Amino acid sequence: MTGQVAAPDRVPTRERIVLAAADLYRRHGYTGTGMKQVAADAEAPFGSIYHFFPGGKEQLGEEVIRRAGGMYALLLPAVFDPAPDPVTGVRTFFTLAGEHLKASGWQDACPIATVALEVSGTSEPMREACAEVFSGWVQAGTERFTAEGLDPEQARAFTLAIVSALEGAFVLARALRSTEPLDAAGEALAARAAELFGAS
Amino acid sequence: MTGQVAAPDRVPTRERIVLAAADLYRRHGYTGTGMKQVAADAEAPFGSIYHFFPGGKEQLGEEVIRRAGGMYALLLPAVFDPAPDPVTGVRTFFTLAGEHLKASGWQDACPIATVALEVSGTSEPMREACAEVFSGWVQAGTERFTAEGLDPEQARAFTLAIVSALEGAFVLARALRSTEPLDAAGEALAARAAELFGAS
DNA sequence: GTCTATATCTCGATAGAC
DNA sequence: GTCTATCGAGATATAGAC
């Protein structure tokens, strides 16, 4: 009977910090994002960051990567479950990614990819966090495509190709300010899917 | 008759600065690379950077991107010219990329991709430099594959898919410390090439 | 053109009042 | 737990002797 109703500031401070950092990472990267800016965007006092993340910038970065990775993992079933077949699923995945990127003013790239490129040679804990996120995506895709009829090796290789193409197309699309790379990559992978799954 | 023999310090200061910065960018990114570190790695006096690049970090970054982009563009004919057919060329391209990345201790990613993700939302001049580099690659690939029998639209889409897959596979490979993403992406694109070019 | 010293700013991180 | 003031280090950039 503690009277837990939805409070006005329903999002806890710690959560706001993680969300704000995730948003900044995909716009400016890890090294380009300052802790003061995170605090400002999260509307949290500066000291609260070090209260919740005593490990500092690196600990915050690790958690942001894992959390963002988990959220993006939800997109896989969200797109593929309603799709009539894997070929359509692949094409839709790339199309939606392009629409979202364009709608954000070419700002919202994938935070994991940016951070992975920046810190893979600098911070081993963060590199491992990125690796675990990618591994999780690949494993989820492998299981799905295996269930849809591919043998596990094929399924894993195809998933790796999809994730790679998606991340790379994001890079080009963001720089070129065009969805063309995402459309082209999606088309190529959809054709590969048609070949693998034997559909048209 | 000015006696121009190969001098001991045959690489000019300005050149050393650009090369050192390019190397640092692909290891630590743009924001993660300091001007002092560039000077140190280039074995150049700190002030010389601002003598040659009065526009500061951004001007240096722009030139590094364009120069590195031009160097990487040379790899396309270097790999595809000796290849017996486009399918083999595609596969070789991804295989060599993986071998190089691994040989560098998973350090030498593509500097353009890293910088493109970091600054596309921050610095318009640098975003344009990245876009021009990518456009150049895509145009070169389009011309080559058109000459090999594809119609221009197919050739352009296929080139975009290749570059996207390559850049994305680099991201995963660097984080996972494995060439598996590059091999899988190469396999998928080689299969697509076989389909497009009608070879086996 | 080369090189050093330094100005100015912002970074990540900490201390301590409340 | 919240918030402010501030530290020391490192950043970019500049001034000026040589």
Quote the CA–CA distance of A169 and B162 in Å, as a whole number.
10
Mean pLDDT of B80-89: 96
Q: Is B19 exposed, middle or buried (0-12, 13-18, 19+ CB in 10 A)?
A: middle
Task: Check B106 against A116: CB less than 8 A apart.
Answer: no
Say how far apart CA A42 and CA A132 lie, in whole Å.
Answer: 26
Kindly indicate the confidence band of residue A7, based on its pLDDT and cuts at 50, 70 and 90: low
- A149-179 as b/e: b if 16+ CB within 10 A: ebeeebbbbbbbbbbbbbbbbbbbbbbbebb
Between residue 52 and residue 91 of chain A, the positions with Cβ below 7 Å from nucleic chain C are 54, 56-58
The domains of chain B are located at 67-197
CATH homologous superfamily of B67-197: Tetracycline Repressor, domain 2 (1.10.357.10)
Of A114, A163, A169, the CB nearest to B117: A114
Which residue of B171, B177, B180, B187 is the best one to mutate when testing the A interface, meaning the one whose CB has the most A CBs within 10 A? Answer: B171
A4 pLDDT band (50/70/90 cuts)?
very low
Cross-chain Cβ contact A171/B31 below 8 Å: no
B112 within 8 A of B69, measured Cβ to Cβ: yes
**DSSP 3-state of B85:** coil
Question: What local confidence, expressed as pLDDT, does residue A2 receive?
Answer: 45
Contact A167 B172 (CB under 8 A): yes
Q: Check if A104 contacts B (Cβ < 8 Å).
A: no
pTM of the model: 0.94
Q: What is the predicted pLDDT for the residue at B9?
A: 61
pLDDT in tens, B30-41: 999 999 999 999
Residue B40 φ/ψ region, left for φ over 0, alpha for ψ in the -120 to 50 degree band, beta for the rest: alpha
pLDDT digits (tens, 9 = 90+) for A44-94: 999 999 999 999 999 999 999 999 999 999 999 999 999 999 999 999 999
